[in-house]
Amino acid sequence: MAHSEPLTVAQTLADVRTRLDRAAGLAGRQPNEIELIAISKTHPVEAIQPLLTAGHRSFGENRVQEAAEKWPALRDRYPDVRLHLVGQLQSNKARDAVALFDSIHAVDRPSLITALAAAMKAEDRRPDCFVQVNIGDEPQKGGCAIVDLGALLTRAREAGLPVAGLMAVPPADVEAAPYFALLAELARRHDVPGLSMGMSSDYETAAMLGATCVRVGTALFGGRG
Ligand SMILES: *Cc1c(COP(=O)(O)O)cnc(C)c1O
């Protein structure tokens, strides 16, 4: 094309999905084994709307407050939306999170497990829970230490949380693949089905290494300013 128009978000979505499916195929996996979560944090409803119009239904936010402002009205119109919380969760926001989200990707400490269990009882809602692992053992990152994972999973299961998988954000600026492989190994060892891993720069690698959901923001929406 002589003058290429900027891609619409729907075209970008189709491109990301194609890459994801190709990566899944290389690993002998089925495309429908991998949920593409569009991370819409910081982006306004006007940026989200075209994805909804294109039929996309899986979204993620990292702040309860921001999600509570953006999503209830959209969900009235698109009741089949699946909303994921991918950021750190304070225990005092557990009830709001349980009321709003279909899955929570940052379960990383006993006090939060207790708060979520109480919130699920109070709300009579049971979002899928992913236990976040500090896979690169980085002091500034959320997630439980690898050595604590077994005990935390036991605690989550005993508290009645629906444990759907493990989640991690590998260290920045190094090859992510070994960390994805390690997370997959931990999931096997602890008999956890889901793997939430892979972001804009590495979702294809994550798909090849067993991700069941990838969390993609920038590659879909552009930068967050
Ligand atoms: C923001 C965020 C993402 C998306 O990151 P991109 O690099 O923009 O794709 C994924 N996971 C978590 C936990 C995030 O906070």
Of 16, 35, 39, 89, the residue with max ligand 1 atoms within 8 A of its CB, to mutate for a pocket test, comes to 39
Q: What is the mean pLDDT of the chain?
A: 96
Counting from 1 in the atom list of ligand 1, the atom nearest the Cα of 218 is: 8
Does 198 sit in the ligand 1 pocket, CB within 6 Å?
no
Q: If pLDDT is split at 50, 70 and 90, which confidence band does 167 have?
A: very high
Residue 1 has pLDDT above 60, yes or no: no
Q: How far apart are CA 60 and CA 82, in angstroms?
A: 8
Residue 202 has pLDDT above 90, yes or no: yes
Q: How far apart are CA 97 and CA 54, in angstroms?
A: 27
DSSP, collapsed to helix, strand or coil, labels residue 131 as strand
- Give the closest residue (by CA) to ligand 1 atom 4: 217
Q: For the segment 115-151, what is each residue's pLDDT rounded down to a tens digit?
A: 999 999 999 999 999 999 999 999 999 999 999 999 9
Of 9, 41, 59, 62, the residue with max ligand 1 atoms within 8 A of its CB, to mutate for a pocket test, comes to 62
- Give the closest residue (by CA) to ligand 1 atom 13: 86
Of 199, 200, 205, the residue with max ligand 1 atoms within 8 A of its CB, to mutate for a pocket test, comes to 199
Distances (CA, A) of 33 to 46, 55, 61, 171, 213: 29, 18, 22, 25, 8
Provide the whole-model pTM.
0.96
Does 166 sit in the ligand 1 pocket, CB within 6 Å?
no
Extended strands (E) in the chain: 35-39, 58-61, 82-85, 103-107, 128-132, 163-167, 194-196, 213-216
**Distinct helix (H) and strand (E) counts, the chain:** 9, 8
Write down the CATH number for the domain with range 12-220. 3.20.20.10
pLDDT at position 3 is 61
Q: If pLDDT is split at 50, 70 and 90, which confidence band does 75 have?
A: very high
